[in-house]
């Protein structure tokens, strides 16, 4: 009797152990993948950069004469009109120069009158043959010299009066004083380069951004292109603008070539200020209502076992008379399989990978500039890996479109649909909840159905 009980207990324990092993193995197999979901929506490809806001027109106000600042009539942020007096240089020295020039004019006028009278007398005597030709020529010469001296004195007087007028510093444009560099009593010296006294910016209702774009992206930028940007002062507000100009002159810094792009910006409420740093997004392309997949699924590298299993299933289908897959769909699983692994081992991104920016390239550059690398004409499709209705690993070829750096637009066979779960990674020791079959709520019991690609 005891032997029967012991044998019964041992048998029950063996059954429980076997069931645990079987169930546990199934859970581990199912829990060995991390899935992401295909969604549907809109996507934009953008090139990002940074730039600085500035007024569309800025004038540095200087002085053409030297002297001491006697008066200042404006301060920072004051609005001024064109021609308005904003400062004055002490005019006393220049006023004395004007008076001296006036005296010189009077003297030259007197000398001119004397030379004229002398010439007229000599000319009359010359007609009467009383004086020689040389005396006549000398009198004419002195008269002409006096005329030139009188004209020169007049020019000196006009110059002195103009310099006196330069002591009044007036606004060259209507706008806002954004900088004042002098104080009353300060001495300024005019030289080859006029000293900067004030900076006046035109009305801030229209501004511009000078953005720096990497040479690898400048081909995607053109005049009239829409732009959006943010500034740190208003991080939750998105502003818009338009590319006004792509400057041809490049700049080189640490062997990185970049170009300046001018962006026109409307600023009706005056919130944008000169000098603000703008994070800019140039909208390169846009797609609406398309299937989107996270880039991690396109970068997924299947294991050797997954590739062998898929190849074996394809061979079984061919032997059983199943219709052969298209040429582009049958062989290219090496794109993110064996071939992708070889490319990565050689230091190259595999299919679906988003290329990393080169050294020295602006960090914010790659937010999805254009289409994915494997979307070029004639490029083989990329494979998305998933679990079919039988819980078996399968793959579907897709063509990739534009990317925003996080997601990529895809197209392919009808099996692709919104909500479909695809494999993004192979995990180890994952919880059973991560292994949910994307096609059914629980694993099918009993013998598996004949395998198929879709």
- Residue 109 scores a pLDDT above 60: yes
Q: Mean pLDDT score of the chain, rounded to an integer? A: 80
Q: State pLDDT tens for residues 57-90.
A: 999 999 999 999 999 999 999 999 999 999 999 9
| pLDDT tens per residue, range 185-226 | 999 998 777 789 999 998 899 999 999 999 999 999 999 999
| For helices 133-165 and 92-127, angle between their N-to-C axes, nearest 10 degrees | 160
How far apart (Å, rounded) are the C-alpha atoms in residues 40 and 16? 46
Three-class DSSP category at 71: strand
Place of tokens 């010299």: 145
Q: What percent of the chain is predicted at pLDDT more than 90? A: 64
Cα separation, 406 vs 424, whole angstroms: 13
* Consecutive H or E run containing 43: strand 39-55
Least confident of 66-80, 240-254, 318-332, 338-352: 338-352
Average pLDDT on 345-354 reads 36
Return the CATH superfamily for domain 49-56+201-285. Efflux pump adaptor protein, beta barrel domain (2.40.30.170)
For the chain, domain boundaries: 32-45+288-435, 49-56+201-285, 67-89+168-193, 91-166
Candidates 339, 337, 338, 315; CA nearest to 325 is 315
Between CA 278 and CA 241 the distance in angstroms is 11
Neighbours of 26 (CB within 10 A): 14
Categorize the per-residue pLDDT at 339 as very low, low, confident or very high, splitting at 50, 70 and 90: very low
The Cα 311–Cα 328 span in angstroms is 15
Q: Which residue has the higher pLDDT, 73 or 351?
A: 73
Question: Phi/psi at 394 (nearest 5 deg)?
Answer: -145, 175
Helix (H, G, I), strand (E, B) or coil at 10: helix
How confident is residue 47, by pLDDT bands cut at 50, 70 and 90?
very high
**What's the confidence (pLDDT) of residue 240?**
97
Statement: residue 162 has pLDDT above 50:
yes
**Closest by alpha carbon to 417, among 290, 267, 297?**
290
pLDDT for 345: 33
Question: CA-to-CA distance for 122 and 129, rounded, in angstroms?
Answer: 10
The whole-number average pLDDT for the span 352-371 is 42
Bigger pLDDT: 359 vs 159: 159
Taking the alpha carbons of 131, 136, 138, 142 in that order, is the dihedral positive or negative? positive
Tokens of 310: 């898929």
Instruction: Judge whether residue 423 has pLDDT over 80.
Output: yes
What's the pLDDT score for residue 10? 55
Residue 184 has pLDDT above 70, yes or no: yes
Q: Is the pLDDT of residue 410 over 60?
A: yes
Tell me, which fold does domain 91-166 have in CATH?
Answer: Helix Hairpins (1.10.287)
Q: How many helices (H) and strands (E) does the chain have?
A: 7, 19
**Model pTM?**
0.63
Q: What does the radius of gyration of the chain's CA atoms come to, in whole angstroms?
A: 43
Cα separation, 151 vs 102, whole angstroms:
12
Mean pLDDT of the 299-313 span: 88
- 67-89+168-193 in CATH: which number? 2.40.50.100
Residue with the two structure tokens 């140039």: 282
Q: How far is CA 69 from CA 76, 91, 95, 200, in A?
A: 17, 10, 15, 18
**CA nearest neighbour of 410 among 297, 282, 281:** 297
- The pairing of beta strand 421-426 with beta strand 382-387: unpaired
């Amino acid at each position: 009797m005891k032997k029967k009980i012991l044998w019964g207990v041992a048998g029950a324990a063996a059954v429980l152990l076997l069931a645990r092993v079987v169930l546990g193995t199934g859970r581990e197999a199912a829990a060995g993948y991390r899935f992401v979901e295909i969604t549907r929506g809109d996507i934009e490809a953008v090139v990002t950069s940074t730039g600085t806001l500035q007024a569309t027109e800025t004038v540095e106000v200087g002085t053409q004469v030297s002297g001491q600042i006697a008066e200042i009539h404006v301060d920072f942020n004051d609005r001024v009109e064109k021609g308005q007096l904003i400062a004055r240089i002490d005019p006393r020295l220049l006023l004395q120069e004007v008076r001296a020039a006036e005296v010189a004019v009077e003297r030259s006028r007197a000398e001119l009158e004397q030379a004229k009278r002398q010439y007229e007398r000599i000319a009359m005597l010359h007609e009467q043959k009383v004086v020689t030709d040389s005396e006549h020529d000398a009198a004419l010469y002195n008269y002409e010299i006096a005329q030139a001296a009188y004209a020169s004195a007049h020019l000196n007087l006009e110059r002195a009066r103009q310099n006196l007028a330069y002591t009044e510093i007036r606004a060259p444009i209507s706008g806002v004083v954004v900088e004042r560099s002098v104080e009353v009593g300060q001495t300024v010296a005019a030289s080859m380069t006029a000293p900067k006294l004030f900076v006046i910016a035109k009305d801030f209702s229209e501004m511009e951004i000078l953005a720096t774009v990497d040479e690898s992206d400048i081909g995607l930028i053109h005049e009239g292109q829409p732009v959006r940007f943010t500034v740190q002062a208003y991080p939750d507000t998105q502003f818009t603008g338009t590319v006004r100009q792509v400057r041809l002159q490049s700049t080189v810094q640490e062997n990185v070539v970049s170009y300046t792009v001018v962006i026109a910006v409307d600023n009706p409420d005056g919130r944008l200020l000169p000098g603000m740093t703008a994070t800019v997004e140039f909208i390169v392309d846009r797609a609406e209502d398309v299937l989107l997949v996270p880039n991690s699924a396109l970068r997924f590298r299947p294991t050797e076992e997954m590739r062998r299993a898929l190849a074996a299933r394809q061979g079984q289908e061919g032997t059983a008379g199943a219709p052969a897959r298209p040429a582009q769909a049958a062989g290219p699983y090496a794109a993110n399989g064996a071939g992708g692994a070889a490319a990565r081992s050689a230091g190259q991104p595999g299919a679906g990978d988003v290329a990393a920016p080169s050294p020295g390239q602006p960090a914010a550059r790659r937010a999805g500039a254009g289409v994915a690398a494997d979307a070029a004409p004639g490029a083989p499709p990329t494979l998305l890996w998933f679990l079919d209705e039988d819980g078996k690993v399968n793959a579907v070829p897709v063509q990739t479109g534009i990317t925003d750096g996080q997601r990529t637009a895809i197209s392919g066979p009808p099996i692709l649909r919104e909500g479909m779960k695809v494999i993004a990674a192979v995990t180890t020791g994952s919880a059973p909840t991560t292994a949910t079959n994307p096609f059914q709520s629980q694993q099918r019991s009993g013998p598996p159905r004949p395998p198929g690609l879709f």
